[in-house]
Chains A and B, each alone.
Chain A
Amino acid sequence: MQTGQSGTISSINIGGNLGLRLREMGLVPSTEITVTGHAPLHDPIKLRNNDQTLPLRNNEADHVELTAATIGGKR
């Protein structure tokens, strides 16, 4: 995922602890998210969903599937 990219979550394809943690922070299907930035060493990234800022390690973000992803407002 790149900074500025946004889209709607289509699925979170992981279970267990990580799956629940992602979901309890509101990362559930049909939620809109935007990637707002990343840490100085490029990992973790920062997401925006439901009016909150959420950091996520790259390998954790890999489990978040997006549909209709746009970059910088453009398809």
Chain B
Amino acid sequence: MSDPLHITLAGNPNSGKTTLFNHLTGARQHVGNYPGVTVDKKEGFFTHKNNKIRIIDLPGTYSLTAYSVEELVARDYLVNEQPDVVVDIVDASNLERNLYLTCQFLELGVPLVIALNMVDVAEKRGISINTEKLSKLLGVPVIPIVARTGQGVDALFDTVLAVSRESEHPPTLLRYGSDIDQALSEVVPLIEQNNLLTSTYPARWTGLKILENDEQILDKAMLADSTLAQQLLNRSETLTHHLQSTVDAYPEAVIADHRYGFIKSILRQGVVTRTFDVDRLYTSDKIDKVVTNRVLGPLIMAAILFGLYSFTFTYSTFLVDWLSSFFEIISSSVDTMLPDGPIKSMIISGVIDGVGGVLGFVPIIMFMFFGIAVLEDSGYLARVAFMMDRIFHFFGLHGSSVMPFIVSGGIAGGCAVPGVMATRTLRSPKERMATLLTVPFMNCGAKLPVLTLIIGAFFSSHQARYMFLATVAAWLVALLTAKFLRMTVLKGESTPFVMELPPYRFPTVRGLLIHTWERTWQYIKKAGTVILGISILLWAMMTYPGLPADKTAEFDTMRQEVAACQSADNSVELLKIDGLEAEAGLQNSIAGRIGIALELVSRYAGFDWRTNIALVGGFAAKEVIVSTLGTAYSLGEVDPEKTTSLTDRLAKDPHWNPVVALAVLAFIMFYAPCFVTVIAIANEAGSWKWAFFSMGFNTLFALCMSVAIYQIGTLLGLG
């Protein structure tokens, strides 16, 4: 059988591209990444009239410049992969802006079919579009469709098949005004004669991009033929000077204006008829009046975000509980089936606890992303960004950073893993990086039991106040750190806040389910592989090399002595010995030795080796701090939910006092994120460099904070 036909979907954000893609492929789709960047690459297969079709959903863009990753990905894909047909989804109710991208496909000369989407919405508003005329004027087929219902999709793919059989797709020649046309007519022959990049790009397109001062094309041209490139660059500079002095504009601006001129001239030739004019934004405007109102807006937003939380954490609990009892059953059956020994210990504490820990997040991620998908697909998320941009922009972030912060624990009790994953909706690379590096400072659900434990032990009279302060401190630190990062390692201009506030829409159930599943599966797949390894490693660090034989023998003798004396409550005594043995074992383990070695530094913050080990263990998951502290204080495993014994123990321990407690609190809130988050950061940032940066930077920062707290506190004699 021949290769499947290769079709690409392209178009503006919110044009219905994804709806059409979901309609065509259903569940038979696959989400990957474009090489080297974190832009979703969606691929699917379907058949149309016995023709197998492979379809790629390109990222939604408004243009094809070199300024954003999405746009570079889209145009690189079109020129390098050379799809058989490009289907350009155009929103019929916003023809002008959508055709701007179409213009650039025409310039590039790709085999194009226009799918005029949402014609039903346009008709309801009394707008009818003469598709034949539009098609004639643009020189490409235009097929009206309704992606939501699938109306017109058959006809669309009949046309796609027909276009795929044509061999020639010459680029359309647009006019850009006399100055630019003149420059092009000089530049293009040079490019053609020297075959500059002509194997990849049409000569006129390369010329246009050089005049537009497009960095990617200039770099490529320099690499291919630096003398010619320099010559072209000189011509481009002359043009720039000329345009600057005559019309006070850059060439790329003049070119853009002429593209719009071309579109307007087409639309003016009777393509659009308005029989009656109903404002399509009438309902959206009414909703916005309330939802983005000065007073009501923030209140409604707070209510909705709080609702997202309650929804996620209330309804995912039963699944979380179900999963954890499922893993307990497996643990206990392994416990009875296997003989005692290192293998059993590894399977239970390394493999099952590790995998269980990863899968434990799945229900939360699923519910959280379902909620976010509802907010996103309905158009509300864009309003949140709109309302919050003033504050976040001040800290070098973007209005769209709100969601990741909230999800990670902006309201105490979130989770940084979905928070980091939620940064993907941010389209500005630097703001996005700053967001994903700072969201782990928020108080996630796993830090809460630890904070509760320590606050309970030392500040029990002001518990609520301290918890509230912890939330405020987390926000402050995260935002200030973001500002700091944006002024140092992530320095750069802020990305313009130019995005459409889409009209409100009812999300489709199918779309929501596909979005949710995509995210969840991505998490399971990527996290699952690495986490198993790290989890086993952490287990080994806390277990090996174990106690030397003579020590173990000592504890055994102690046990026998207790067993020998026939007192009534020797079971308590035996448990105590088990606890002491576990403590000694932990102290002697690699983690224990690290903990002791770390005292060199940590004593400046007032931490002893027991706290250090717990903090090392907390890298696996923050709630592990509680159970490790339990072992380190020879109380055996401590259930994070029932910590009274540990609270008492800490409150009475001579090493601890309120100043130490405060220093430990600060450290726990701000040190390295748990490794599941670290892996999520590596995935989202596209490199491990940032994941390591986050571990190192956060730990150093936390250390400085707690040393400062401990030293100042001790100096003031508060200890």
Interface string of B667-701 (1 = CB under 8 A from A): 00000000000000000000000000000000000
Known: A19-B253, A51-B94. A42 touches B248 (CB 8 A): no
B393 touching A57, Cβ below 8 Å:
yes
A12 within 8 Å of B by Cβ?
Answer: yes
A36 touching B285, Cβ below 8 Å:
yes
Nearest neighbor of A18 in chain B, beta-carbon distance: B496
Q: Which residues of B209-268 have CB atoms within 8 Å of chain A's CB atoms?
A: 248-250, 252-253, 256-257, 260
B260 touching A26, Cβ below 8 Å:
yes
Q: A24-B101, A39-B297, A56-B498 are in contact. List 15 more A-B contacts (CB 8 A).
A: A17-B495, A22-B496, A23-B253, A24-B97, A25-B500, A39-B292, A40-B298, A44-B399, A53-B284, A53-B288, A54-B498, A54-B500, A55-B389, A56-B497, A57-B389
Q: Which residues of A1-55 have CB atoms within 8 Å of chain B's CB atoms?
A: 11-13, 15-26, 28-29, 36-37, 39-44, 46, 48, 50-55
A60 within 8 Å of B by Cβ?
Answer: yes
Segment of B40-48, B62-70, B190-198, B446-454 engaged in the interface with chain A: B62-70
Task: Please give, as numbers and ranges, the residues of chain A lying within 8 Å of B101 by CB-CB distance.
Answer: 24
Q: Among the interface residues B252, B297, B495, which one has the most CB atoms of the partner chain A within 10 A?
A: B252
B250 touching A15, Cβ below 8 Å:
yes
Partner of A28, one of B252, B260, B387: B260
The 8 residue pairs across chains A and B that have the minimum distance between CB atoms: A15-B250, A41-B390, A23-B256, A53-B501, A24-B63, A21-B498, A28-B260, A24-B62
B294 within 8 Å of A by Cβ?
Answer: yes
Task: Please give, as numbers and ranges, the residues of chain A lying within 8 Å of B281 by CB-CB distance.
Answer: 48, 51-53
Task: Please give, as numbers and ranges, the residues of chain B lying within 8 Å of A43 by CB-CB distance.
Answer: 389-390
Task: Please give, as numbers and ranges, the residues of chain A lying within 8 Å of B390 by CB-CB distance.
Answer: 39, 41-44
A60 touching B498, Cβ below 8 Å:
yes
Shortest CB distance A61–B (Å): 10
B97 touching A13, Cβ below 8 Å:
no
Shortest CB distance B150–A (Å): 25
Q: With the chains together, A41 CA to B67 CA distance in Å?
A: 29
A22 touching B498, Cβ below 8 Å:
yes
B438 within 8 Å of A by Cβ?
Answer: no
B387 touching A39, Cβ below 8 Å:
yes
Task: Please give, as numbers and ranges, the residues of chain B lying within 8 Å of A29 by CB-CB distance.
Answer: 257
Task: Please give, as numbers and ranges, the residues of chain A lying within 8 Å of B499 by CB-CB distance.
Answer: 54-55
Task: Please give, as numbers and ranges, the residues of chain A lying within 8 Å of B293 by CB-CB distance.
Answer: 40
Known: A20-B65, A57-B389. A28 touches B94 (CB 8 A): no
Nearest neighbor of B212 in chain A, beta-carbon distance: A20
Nearest neighbor of B104 in chain A, beta-carbon distance: A24
Nearest neighbor of A14 in chain B, beta-carbon distance: B253
Known: A23-B253, A23-B257, A26-B260. A46 touches B393 (CB 8 A): no
Q: Which residues of B372-431 have CB atoms within 8 Å of chain A's CB atoms?
A: 386-387, 389-391, 393, 399
B544 within 8 Å of A by Cβ?
Answer: no
B292 touching A40, Cβ below 8 Å:
yes
B294 touching A15, Cβ below 8 Å:
no
A40 touching B297, Cβ below 8 Å:
yes
Counting residue pairs across A and B whose Cβ atoms lie within 8 Å, the total is 126
Q: With the chains together, A44 CA to B260 CA distance in Å?
A: 25
14 contacts between A and B (CB under 8 A): A15-B249, A15-B250, A21-B496, A22-B496, A24-B97, A36-B285, A37-B289, A39-B387, A40-B293, A40-B298, A46-B292, A52-B500, A53-B285, A56-B498
Shortest CB distance A60–B (Å): 6
Nearest neighbor of B498 in chain A, beta-carbon distance: A21
Q: With the chains together, A23 CA to B497 CA distance in Å?
A: 13
Known: A24-B63, A24-B256, A28-B256. A55 touches B297 (CB 8 A): no
Q: Which size bracket describes the interface of B in this complex?
A: 35 or more
Known: A53-B284, A55-B386. A12 touches B97 (CB 8 A): no
Nearest neighbor of B240 in chain A, beta-carbon distance: A15
B96 touching A50, Cβ below 8 Å:
yes
Nearest neighbor of A60 in chain B, beta-carbon distance: B496
B248 touching A60, Cβ below 8 Å:
no
A25 touching B498, Cβ below 8 Å:
yes
Known: A15-B252, A39-B292, A43-B389. A26 touches B284 (CB 8 A): no
Using CB atoms and an 8 Å cutoff, list the residues of chain B in contact with chain A. 62-63, 65, 67, 93-94, 96-97, 100-101, 248-250, 252-253, 256-257, 260, 279-281, 284-285, 288-289, 292-295, 297-298, 386-387, 389-391, 393, 399, 493, 495-501, 503
B280 touching A51, Cβ below 8 Å:
yes
Q: Which size bracket describes the interface of A in this complex?
A: 35 or more
Partner of B252, one of A13, A20, A53: A20
Task: Please give, as numbers and ranges, the residues of chain B lying within 8 Å of A12 by CB-CB distance.
Answer: 253
Partner of A20, one of B67, B280, B284, B295: B67
Q: With the chains together, A42 CA to B298 CA distance in Å?
A: 13
Q: With the chains together, A8 CA to B498 CA distance in Å?
A: 19
Shortest CB distance A8–B (Å): 13
Shortest CB distance A27–B (Å): 9
B94 touching A52, Cβ below 8 Å:
yes
Known: A26-B100, A60-B496. A20 touches B248 (CB 8 A): no
Q: With the chains together, A11 CA to B298 CA distance in Å?
A: 35
Task: Please give, as numbers and ranges, the residues of chain B lying within 8 Å of A40 by CB-CB distance.
Answer: 292-295, 297-298, 387
Task: Please give, as numbers and ranges, the residues of chain B lying within 8 Å of A56 by CB-CB distance.
Answer: 497-498
Shortest CB distance A57–B (Å): 5
Task: Please give, as numbers and ranges, the residues of chain B lying within 8 Å of A13 by CB-CB distance.
Answer: 248-249
Partner of B96, one of A15, A19, A26: A26
Task: Please give, as numbers and ranges, the residues of chain A lying within 8 Å of B498 by CB-CB distance.
Answer: 18, 21-22, 25, 54-56, 60
A26 touching B389, Cβ below 8 Å:
no
Shortest CB distance B261–A (Å): 8
Task: Please give, as numbers and ranges, the residues of chain B lying within 8 Å of A44 by CB-CB distance.
Answer: 386, 389-390, 399, 497
Q: With the chains together, A60 CA to B389 CA distance in Å?
A: 13
Q: With the chains together, A34 CA to B399 CA distance in Å?
A: 22
A24 touching B100, Cβ below 8 Å:
yes
Q: With the chains together, A23 CA to B499 CA distance in Å?
A: 12
Nearest neighbor of A46 in chain B, beta-carbon distance: B501
Q: With the chains together, A55 CA to B101 CA distance in Å?
A: 20
Task: Please give, as numbers and ranges, the residues of chain B lying within 8 Å of A53 by CB-CB distance.
Answer: 281, 284-285, 288, 500-501, 503
Task: Please give, as numbers and ranges, the residues of chain B lying within 8 Å of A48 by CB-CB distance.
Answer: 281
Shortest CB distance A32–B (Å): 12
Nearest neighbor of B301 in chain A, beta-carbon distance: A40
Q: With the chains together, A21 CA to B62 CA distance in Å?
A: 8
Task: Please give, as numbers and ranges, the residues of chain B lying within 8 Å of A60 by CB-CB distance.
Answer: 496-498
Q: With the chains together, A42 CA to B297 CA distance in Å?
A: 13
Known: A21-B498, A40-B297. A28 touches B257 (CB 8 A): yes
Shortest CB distance A1–B (Å): 15
Q: With the chains together, A16 CA to B251 CA distance in Å?
A: 10
Task: Please give, as numbers and ranges, the residues of chain A lying within 8 Å of B253 by CB-CB distance.
Answer: 12, 15, 19-20, 23
Shortest CB distance B485–A (Å): 21
Q: With the chains together, A55 CA to B499 CA distance in Å?
A: 7
Partner of B97, one of A17, A20, A21, A25: A25
Q: With the chains together, A18 CA to B501 CA distance in Å?
A: 18
Partner of A39, one of B279, B280, B389: B389
A57 touching B67, Cβ below 8 Å:
no
Partner of A17, one of B67, B100, B389: B67
